[in-house]
């Protein structure tokens, strides 16, 4: 990780599996974004806006922190 970056991970793939193997396309349609956006978020290449993050959590019927996890940077991150 680069200087000052924090680690944001997500459980979207697992949640999709437990939601009857929901496709990325189906989740994207429900959330109102493209499938490519879901792919990028799921792979950790893109952090969604707060609104999109809430929409994803709502799509699975779970709290936001069950979808996204944040680990603060360590003491040597400065």
DSSP 74: P
Helix (H) or strand (E) holding 69: strand 68-71
Domains of the chain with bracketed CATH: 7-64 (1.10.260.40)
Q: Which two structure tokens, joined as six digits, stand for 54?
A: 């809430």
Distance (Å, rounded) from C-alpha 34 to C-alpha 5? 26
Number of CB atoms found within 10 A of residue 22's CB: 16
Q: Is the pLDDT of residue 72 over 60?
A: yes
The predicted pLDDT at position 73 comes to 82
Instruction: Output the pTM of the full model.
Output: 0.84
Q: Which two structure tokens, joined as six digits, stand for 39?
A: 């792919």
Per-residue pLDDT tens over the stretch 36-49: 999 999 999 999 99
Burial of 48 (0-12, 13-18, 19+ CB in 10 A): buried
The predicted pLDDT at position 12 comes to 98
The predicted pLDDT at position 2 comes to 44
CA angle (38 as vertex; 32, 39 as ends), nearest 5: 155
Per-residue pLDDT tens over the stretch 7-58: 899 999 999 999 999 999 999 999 999 999 999 999 999 999 999 999 999 9
Q: Is the pLDDT of residue 78 over 90?
A: no
């Amino acid at each position: 990780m680069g200087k000052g970056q924090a680690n944001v991970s997500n459980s979207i793939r697992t949640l999709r599996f437990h939601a009857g193997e929901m496709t990325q396309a189906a989740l994207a349609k429900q959330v109102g974004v493209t499938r490519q956006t879901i792919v990028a978020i799921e792979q950790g290449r893109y952090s969604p806006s707060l609104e999109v993050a809430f929409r994803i959590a709502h799509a699975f019927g779970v709290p936001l922190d069950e979808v996204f996890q944040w680990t603060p940077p360590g003491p040597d991150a400065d």
